[in-house]
Amino acid sequence: MTKPRTGRVAKIWRDGELVNWDDANIHVISHVAHYGSSVFEGIRSYETPTGAAVFRLPEHIERLRDSCRIYRMPLEYSVEQLVQATVETIAANDLRSCYIRPLVVRTGEQMGFYPIGVPIETFIICWNSEILYLGHDAQEAGVDACVSSWRRAAPDTFPTMAKAGGNYLNSQLSKIEARQNGYHEAIALDSFGFVSEGAGENLFVVHDGALITSPIAAGILHGITRRSVIQIARDMGLEVREQNLPREMLYVAHELFFCGTAAEITPIRSVDKVPVGEGRPGPITRAIREEFFGIAKGRVADRHGWLTPVPIGAEAGA
């Protein structure tokens, strides 16, 4: 199959069946269009020497289920069913590597924000184009970040552990501010002034040989790539700490990097125009990134069982 440049694919999974791209539509009066009532995941499939493999697919679907629970969105499908549906959708589109977006939305055709009883639909979308979240050179050269004037939500306002569409309105404001001021990305503080995360990714500090990241209570998404980085670092014998980080730690860090499904492992070379370390990716960041891609792309043994293989074509029943 010739890969379309736009990222468009032939088939999208919609509530148990594969439909044509153009048929995966919802009505303009849908609840989600007015009130942001969606939860979703971002997942990657990588090409490996033995074929396509999805990185930490069950964990992503489990988080999707948990997001639905938090927002009282009854999910009709089990984790196992959605894992299989994801594999089948990738195979049906004959993809070796792609970005995957499972999406659960409140739809229907009624007005009013009260959500209980509103129809819920589930989609699995594959995006057949390279995702360069922070640009072509970000992985090698690093990116310039700034501390945003927009804070993450305070506790007991809305749940940041849910990967919900509405949460990203805050991220959009931070991202716009950063880009308009000449930076690649924003770093948000939590409501108490401690470091939270990037606009669309988690953040790690390297200081005195230890790897430090903000705790879940700092208004961050409980990132799956973040968990992978922590495991890889521990495998390498590094000290890993989850603790509150004052803003000034960003300026004295020896290394900094973002991580997430879209960002993967992206070094940060400066914050608020203050160089991080020597102003280029440091050795610990490079070592973690190399191990991460080694596992994801099948060059290193999948010792933690993070990869779900994708049979292509007839083998998957496509």
163 catalytic? Reply is yes
Range of the domain at 222: 138-281
What is the pLDDT, as a whole number, of residue 317?
Answer: 44
pLDDT bin (cut points 50, 70, 90) of residue 316 is: very low
d(CA 289, CA 229): 9
Q: What is the pLDDT of residue 315?
A: 42
Round the average pLDDT of the chain to a whole number and report it: 94
d(CA 305, CA 250): 33
Q: What is the pLDDT of residues 243-259, one digit of tens each?
A: 999 999 999 999 999 99
Are 52 and 310 a contacting pair, CB within 8 Å? yes
Residues 159, 267 within the same domain: yes
Secondary structure E strands in 82-209: 98-106, 120-127, 143-147, 185-189, 195-198, 202-207
Does 261 fall in a domain?
Answer: yes
Give the CA dihedral 307, 309, 310, 314, nearest 10 degrees: -170
pLDDT of residue 12: 97
Indicate if 166 and 266 belong to the same structural domain.
yes
pLDDT, position 140? 84
164 in the same domain as 77: no
**95-144 residue pLDDT tens:** 999 999 999 999 999 999 999 999 999 999 999 877 777 877 888 889 99
* 68 and 195 share one domain: no
Same-domain pairing of 69 and 113? yes
Beta strand residue intervals within 165-314, DSSP E: 185-189, 195-198, 202-207, 210-213, 240-242, 255-260, 264-271, 274-275, 307-309
Rounded to the nearest angstrom, the gap between the alpha carbon of residue 192 and the centroid of all alpha carbons in its chain is 24
What is the pLDDT at residue 202? 98
Mean pLDDT value of segment 154-163: 93
Q: How far is residue 95's CA from residue 73's CA, in Å, rounded to a whole number?
A: 30
In this structure, the answer to whether residues 175 and 55 fall within a common structural domain is no
Residue 6 has a pLDDT of 74
Residue 179 belongs to a domain? yes
Residues 155 and 119 in one domain: no
pLDDT at 313: 56
85 in the same domain as 35: yes
Number of domains in the chain: 2
Q: What pLDDT is recorded for position 221?
A: 95
Which residues 6+ apart lie within 8 Å of 167 measured at CB? 158, 160, 221
Kindly state whether residues 164 and 81 are assigned to the same domain: no
| Residue 123 shares a structural domain with residue 143 | no
* pLDDT value at 4 more than 60: no
Q: 288 in a domain, yes or no?
A: no
Checking if the pLDDT of 200 tops 60, the result is yes
Are the beta carbons of 214 and 194 closer than 8 angstroms?
A: yes
With contact defined as beta carbons under 8 Å apart, do 158 and 119 qualify?
A: no
Q: Is the pLDDT of residue 179 over 90?
A: yes
- Which residue, 103, 118, 96, is CA-closest to 12? 103
Catalytic annotation, pick one of 163, 175, 273, 297: 163
The residue type at 162 = A
Region 43-62: mean pLDDT is: 97
pLDDT, residue 113, reads 92
19 CB contacts (<8 Å, ≥6 apart)?
11, 12, 13
Same domain, 122 and 32: yes
Which residues have a Cβ under 8 Å from the Cβ of 263 and sit 6 or more positions away?
A: 133, 134, 138, 198, 200, 201, 225
State the pLDDT at residue 2: 42
CB 86 within 8 A of CB 43: yes
Cα–Cα distance, 214 to 226 (Å, whole number) = 10
Tell me the CA end-to-end span of the chain in Å, nearest whole number: 14
- Is pLDDT of 1 > 70? no
Give the position of tokens 């539509």: 25
